[in-house]
Structure 1
Amino acid sequence: MQEKLTINYTNDLHSYFENWPKIAGYLKGNKQKLQDAGETCWLVDIGDHVDRSRPIAEAFRGKANISLLNEAGYDFATIGNNEGITLDYDDLYHLYDEAEFRVAVANLHTKTGKDPSWMEPSWVVETTGGVKVGMIGLTAPFPDFYNLIGWDVQDPMEILKQEIGPLRSSCDVVVLLSHLGIYADRDIAAAFPEIDVIIGGHTHHLLHEGEYVNQCLITTAGKQGFYMGEVEIIWDTEQECITGKHARAIPVADLEDDADTAEQVAVYSENAAKAMHRPAVVLPDPMPCGPYEDSRAMDLLTDYLRRWTKADLAFLNAGVLLDSFPAGAVSYMDIHRICPHPINPATVPLTGESLEQIVNAALQPDFVSFPLKGFGFRGKVIGKMIYSGLTFDITGTEAKPVAKNLKIHGRPLDPKKLYTTAMADTFTFGSLLPNIKQAEGKKYFMPEMLRDLLLEAFQEIEK
């Protein structure tokens, strides 16, 4: 005798609700069909369902996302970094208060010692045929950010060393709900043979049929709901072991919308627009913006960033402003639409020598036009770098510009001196500007985002 367990999942929707009615329609229909046939089907979300760059998530601080997951009949979830570090402490603490599904996150705890009631490290649940399935959830560790907003995030590998043995001994099948990314998932599969299936997210990889590391099946389904995932596990009841594991990514484009879900999304969208169309500031003059040019709006934002962080200088890429601002009343929706990124301010101590290298790197045409993806950035290209407190002349050629005569507040740049430099936290990740990634003493500012500083900068000139 064999029993089949089906797990349908979503990962990294990023509040891209354009596809949600199709996803919800399929999930509800497939779950009902399998349950009517006496089979077990569970619905799982792997995190980053919330994304505050989208109006519904911004207006309702993720609570609308939870309502939509409830309506679709989800059973289990873990959290992503967009739930974890773009919401303030109270918003995350209460995000899942009304959830009708269980939330596993084994490597996150509040610093107060009293975790929210919804937060569980793991659990064991049974299929209709009595197969015991252990699930454990892990989220991407960003300790510098979590610490600032009152949470303690732990190393996923260390948590697994502590938790996986007891969990394995109490169940037949182990499934990891992982918002760690494909590279961490592969490392975990190699290090922990106790895990049968890893359902992943975070790095937005799309595995059409999953992949195996040793005997562990790894699966993940891209981003923004263009695909959803399905895992089938076949259990032999006589041999008491898994005899088959399969994964597939299901394209969403040609699926039918669920009418009730479409209506629910439309209502949330309308209510979000009403809440965010309140006037935020009145601008005396229009402010044209473009990614490849200087603009007054970028000058105001960069200068305010420097003063707000008490830095020696600041720089920001013009690509963070996605449109121009008209004269007159500007709403919260306008601010959000033009600067939607979940990006926080940061300061980094940099030597004058490093600053000169960064300025020259940022001048190059391929850097300015680079189509940056991820790291909180929701624009199209990096754009021109705008500075406050730093001036320089440009020599060289159009293809290879060179910065000369760099000065900080009118004084020549000292190659050996450390300067506190304010920037978007985007540049502290990845390898875009290696001098920044390698620098020590980074400081992040939370929960404020760039758009909060932009509004405050505009309010200064309104006065």
Structure 2
Amino acid sequence: MENIRILHTNDLHSHFEHFPKIGRYLHQMQEKPNADEVYTFDAGDFMDRSHPLTDATEGQINIKLMNDFHYTAGTIGNNEGISNPHAVLEDLFDHVNHPILLSNLREEDESFPKWAKDYEILTTKKGTRIALVGLTAAYPMTYGPNHWHIKMLGETMDRVLPEIEGKYDVLILITHVGLEKDRWLAKNYPQIDLIVGGHSHDLIPNGEKVNQTWITQTGKWGNYVGDIMLEVNDQHQVVKIAPTTISTASMPEEAGDEQIIQGYLEQGKQILEQDHVAYLPEKFADDKVAAIQVSLDAIAHFANTDLAMLSSGLFLSSFKVGTLTKFDLQKALPHPMHVVRTKLKGSDLWRLVMEIEKNRHYLDHFPLQGMSFRGKIFGQMYYRGIKVDKLHRIVYVNGQKINPEKDYQIAGLDHYVLVPFFPTLAIVGENEFLFPQFLREVVGDYLAQKYPITQEVK
């Protein structure tokens, strides 16, 4: 009989406030595992550019901290794969100390990224062969414009499984595809013994068994760490899988933890504050609407459209008067979102505006999570170039009554395509995702042109 311990994390999202505790727990279990072998896996979204230090270092601080956790293997999430420009992701893992497993992502020439491995075969001291396969969420609409080719899950599994057939005794998937897709994998590929998952932020305290496959996930932000015991018999067959999760809050604090956590924030702030973006006039003082309006102009300019829309909940603060730094912008607009240019017939644009107006009061205080949103509430929707006569249900575009047969283009965000409140965008919109700049970078570039730093008071 052989006992194998698997420690795992997912969706840490640069929540460095938990890292001192998580690091100690992993090291303690790695050093004294009470098992014949111990492996440590991460299932993606380890980084999040809403944290100043992650943003300032383009994720390199996360790689350093990953190495400190002594992972055996991991995969990437959408925050690594989509929220980074192609060039940043190309070099993100240059200094990582463990294999990054990712079977379903390719360069545009169909080659593997230089940092990715298709799969890995581990062999325990007692000779058990463990195959590891990594998968990330398949989003063609966003990977494509970022110059990657993402492969569908079924297509990938149908390719990989024949390649590794006969090479393993235990099959483990490390996935960032979400619980529903993990269940689909378990139902359609019964040879999988264990899925170490992420992406949907589900906390499964003691795992979930689908047919013969166990699925595990630890929620989000490092609130929990996964701890799994596997029993394998002398014929290298899995006898038992027992998943558990450990609350990070239950782990002991140590003197100096808070200083380390605050140090990450302060270091990121200091780096970003060195980069001056624009010099803003007094009209922006404590005026979030002014920030929204200039940001509407910014995304319209970026997308080369007359029309634009943004929601107030995106703006966590108004823009700072005087010298605006990258830190100020990051604090105001922390979301890893991209601008989308949508083409709609006039009749469909009218319908979109009606959807927005119908949901306006509901969304004003709606607590939104996911879809790359890093704020608290959705808020009010603001338009550029659009006016609405609510009483008569008439929409005006640039002062003219909307033409139902004319084509219009409007700038928005990938966020609005993903949220369920405005289905017209996803159903009939011709959506073009514009990469690589984030929303805050688009706004920053526009402010730099409109209010150049040459006006800065020395």
> Using the alignment, how far apart are the partners of 2:245 and 2:149 within structure 1?
33
> Using the alignment, how far apart are the partners of 2:372 and 2:386 within structure 1?
25
* Aligned partners of 1:133 and 1:172 also within 8 Å: yes
In the TM superposition, 1:41-190 aligns within 5 A as 41-190=38-187
| 1:216 alignment partner, one of 207, 210, 213 | 213
* Aligned partners of 1:135 and 1:176 also within 8 Å: yes
The alignment partner of 1:94 has SS state of: helix
Letter in 2 for 1:126: T
Post-superposition Cα deviations, 1:11-35, rounded to whole Å, max 9, x if no partner, equal: 001111111111111011111011x
- For the pair 1:277 / 2:266, whether they are aligned, the reply is no
Post-superposition Cα deviations, 1:351-392, rounded to whole Å, max 9, x if no partner, equal: 323322322332331122221111111111111111111112
Cα gap change, 1:214/1:312 in structure 2, threshold over 3 Å: closer, same or farther?
same
> Using the alignment, how far apart are the partners of 1:249 and 1:354 within structure 2?
47
Cα gap change, 1:97/1:317 in structure 2, threshold over 3 Å: closer, same or farther?
same
| 2:309 alignment partner, one of 315, 329, 353 | 315
| 1:241 alignment partner, one of 237, 242, 245 | 237
Select between 187-196 and 358-367 the one with higher mean Cα deviation.
Answer: 358-367
Cα gap change, 1:248/1:286 in structure 2, threshold over 3 Å: closer, same or farther?
farther
The alignment partner of 2:430 has SS state of: coil
| 2:417 alignment partner, one of 421, 428, 431 | 428
Aligned residue number for residue 415 of structure 1: 404
> Using the alignment, how far apart are the partners of 2:246 and 2:414 within structure 1?
34
| 2:380 alignment partner, one of 379, 384, 388 | 384
* Aligned partners of 2:277 and 2:447 also within 8 Å: no
The alignment partner of 2:354 has SS state of: helix
Shift of 1:307: 2.4
Letter in 1 for 2:12: L
* Aligned partners of 1:428 and 1:436 also within 8 Å: yes
> Using the alignment, how far apart are the partners of 2:419 and 2:252 within structure 1?
39
TM-score, length-scaled by structure 2: 0.93
Cα gap change, 1:264/1:327 in structure 2, threshold over 3 Å: closer, same or farther?
closer
> Using the alignment, how far apart are the partners of 1:441 and 1:374 within structure 2?
23
- For the pair 1:439 / 2:428, whether they are aligned, the reply is yes
> Using the alignment, how far apart are the partners of 1:59 and 1:298 within structure 2?
24
Aligned residue number for residue 24 of structure 1: 23
Unmatched 5+ stretches in structure 2 = 453-458
> Using the alignment, how far apart are the partners of 1:213 and 1:424 within structure 2?
36
Shift of 1:264: 6.0
Cα gap change, 1:381/1:267 in structure 2, threshold over 3 Å: closer, same or farther?
closer
Aligned residue number for residue 398 of structure 1: none
Shift of 1:289: 6.2
Cα gap change, 1:265/1:74 in structure 2, threshold over 3 Å: closer, same or farther?
farther
> Using the alignment, how far apart are the partners of 1:106 and 1:263 within structure 2?
39
- For the pair 1:371 / 2:370, whether they are aligned, the reply is no
- For the pair 1:6 / 2:5, whether they are aligned, the reply is yes
Shift of 1:405: 3.0
Amino-acid identity (%): 30
Aligned residue number for residue 300 of structure 2: 306
> Using the alignment, how far apart are the partners of 1:107 and 1:47 within structure 2?
14
Aligned residue number for residue 333 of structure 1: 327
Shift of 1:54: 1.1
> Using the alignment, how far apart are the partners of 2:257 and 2:70 within structure 1?
12
> Using the alignment, how far apart are the partners of 1:59 and 1:351 within structure 2?
41
The alignment partner of 2:395 has SS state of: strand
Select between 413-422 and 208-217 the one with higher mean Cα deviation.
Answer: 413-422
> Using the alignment, how far apart are the partners of 1:457 and 1:94 within structure 2?
28
* Aligned partners of 1:77 and 1:101 also within 8 Å: yes
Cα gap change, 1:119/1:257 in structure 2, threshold over 3 Å: closer, same or farther?
farther
Select between 414-423 and 329-338 the one with higher mean Cα deviation.
Answer: 414-423
